[in-house]
Amino acid sequence: MSTREELTRDQKRFAVWVFIAATAHAALVVLSFLMQLYYLRTHPPVKIVTVSLVTLPGTPGPAGGPAVPEQPPAPKPVAEVPAPKPLEPPAPKKIPEPAPAKKIVPEEKPKSDKADLADALSRLKKQTESREAGKGISSSLASLQKKVASQGKGPAQGSGSGGGGGLYGQGGGASDPYKSKIAGIIQNNWTFSEQMLRTTRGMEVYVAINILPNGTISQIRFDQRASSEYLNNSVKVALQKSSPLPALPREYGSKPYWIGFVFTPEGVTK
């Protein structure tokens, strides 16, 4: 005996249930978003550290890596310069940390120019610590890089040849040891994983930092941001962690100094 009235009443009841179900679904979706946000806040994602290799500014060739086949293995202290390409560290390898210089550098001569540079840097840092002055490191590094540049095949890569305009790539050729040093420090403080990016295309961050004579980073300026906030933020954190940097060498004068860096998923270049 389903009269029209009963049918209408059933339809109304059903419509009410549809509305309730729709509301419940919406609430569930909103709740899941909120739960996820809450979970992310309470359980921050585990940091994945991929240590990219630092190509020392002005140093030819890739900055280390597992294999550099074209380099002659034997006694040459500095190997041949491969090609004047921009800095492209090919493989994740950590260069020796510049700051803690307690480690004693092994005596035997490494077979690649990168290793040579690393050893030389370590020795120089040791000297620097003992003397508390930047004379030794500056001259040693300068002579070392001169040596490298003289053995290289072409213009040095990385920091841009010819001292182009702006802060980036103004070093050119065998570059400033101070800049190399701070590049190393920043690289070591940079916690970044390429896997966290959906694409590496266009992922370049151009940052200029203002360094006070005592080495403190007084200002960080993003000249070009990457599309990934993760990359931008990691750069900012790395710079903040790196401050204070070593004091500015005398040749920089007593005024604050601007230095530009380019952060790419492959590493830091100057």
Partner 1 sequence: MNENAGGGIASMLMGSGPVVIAVLAVLIMFSIISWAIIAFKFGYIRKSIKESQDFLDSFFEVQNVDRMFSASENFRTGSLPRVFRAGYVEYSSMRDKSTVTQLRERVTLAVKREVNSESKRLTHLVPFLATVGNTAPFIGLFGTVWGIMSSFQNIGLMKSASLAAVAPGISEALIATATGLVAAIPAVMGYNYLTQKIGQVERDLEDFAPDFIDAYLNQ
Q: 195, 251, 254, 255: which one contacts partner 1 (CB under 8 A)?
A: 195
Tell which one of 76, 136, 140, 194 touches partner 1 (CB under 8 A): 194
**Is residue 9 part of the contact set for partner 1 (CB under 8 A)?**
no
**Dihedral class, residue 15 (left if φ above 0, else alpha if ψ from -120 to 50, else beta):** alpha
Size of the site for partner 1 (CB under 8 A): 28
- Whole-number Å distance between alpha carbons of 246 and 233: 23
Strand partners, 269: 262
Instruction: By CB under 8 A, tell whether 252 contacts partner 1.
Output: no
- Among the listed residues 131, 135, 146, 198, the single contact to partner 1 using CB under 8 A: 198
Candidate residues 51, 99, 105, 197; the one interacting with partner 1 per rule CB under 8 A? 197
Would you count residue 91 as binding partner 1 (CB under 8 A)? no
The reply on whether position 17 binds partner 1 by CB under 8 A is yes
Residue 230 binds partner 1 (CB under 8 A)? yes
Let me know: does 29 contact 241? Beta carbons within 8 Å: no
Cβ closest to partner 1, residue 36 vs residue 143: 36
Residues 45-74 binding partner 1 (CB under 8 A) are: 45
In angstroms, the Cα distances linking 235 to 203, 224, 239 are 12, 12, 6
Nearer to partner 1, 6 or 129 (CB): 6
Q: Single out the segment in contact with partner 1 by CB under 8 A; choices: 114-122, 133-141, 159-167, 224-232.
A: 224-232
Nearest CB to partner 1, comparing residues 13 and 146: 13
Question: Of these, 8, 27, 31, 40, which contacts partner 1 (CB under 8 A)?
Answer: 40
The nearest distance, CB 21 to partner 1, in angstroms, is 4
Segment contacting partner 1 by CB under 8 A, of 196-204, 216-224, 239-247, 252-260:
196-204
Which positions lie near partner 1, rule CB under 8 A? 1-2, 10, 13-14, 17-18, 20-22, 24-25, 32-33, 36-37, 40, 45, 194-199, 201, 228-230
